Amino acid sequence: MAYSSKSYFPSQTVSDAEKLSYDYGLKVAKAIEQEWFNNDRSSNRYKSNHNDFHNLRLYARGEQSIQKYKDELSINGDLSYLNLDWTPVPIISKFVDIVVNGMSERMYDIKAYSQDPFGVSKRTAYMDSVLADMRTKDLNAFTEMLLEYKYQSTTKKCYLIQKKS
């Protein structure tokens, strides 16, 4: 296998049968490891990405380092003539709040329905029971009225019996 001088990855022009081999996959995995986690190289992609995200989070919270601002304003390292408040102004945090709140204020509701057979049958059975309740609404109201009347009449008799004793 031929390696290019700029990359640790094996050649991609080899046959598909060789690409399916364990050795080729191992070489690709080692190349990925070399690219992301090798400490011998001048740039370590994992650590640089981690540091970039850490710095961006500091800026978002308004906690960034102010040393670069001091270096710009100092004359030969002397800051004694400057009477400044060096606390950083959290400007980006305002925009973060705007973006996050804008994402959460949706003018629509998400409606998701399952498509698997069990979910469809369960939803269909629920809709059938709702339709059956709608069709028998008058009958249900009539039977509830009769049962309530019968229940009230029996409780009154019980109440009257209890009151006499």
The three-point CA angle 131-135-137 to 5° equals 110
Those residues whose C-beta lies under 8 Å from the C-beta of residue 3, and which sit 6 or more positions away, are 9, 10, 11
DSSP code for 77 = T
Tens-digit pLDDT string for the chain (165 aa): 444 345 678 888 899 999 999 999 999 998 888 878 776 656 678 888 888 999 888 888 888 888 888 888 887 777 777 777 788 877 777 787 787 776 666 677 778 888 899 989 999 999 999 999 889 888 888 888 887 766 555 555 544 444 444
**pTM of the entire structure?**
0.40
DSSP code for 100 = H
Q: What span, in angstroms and rounded, lies between the C-alpha atoms of 39 and 76?
A: 35
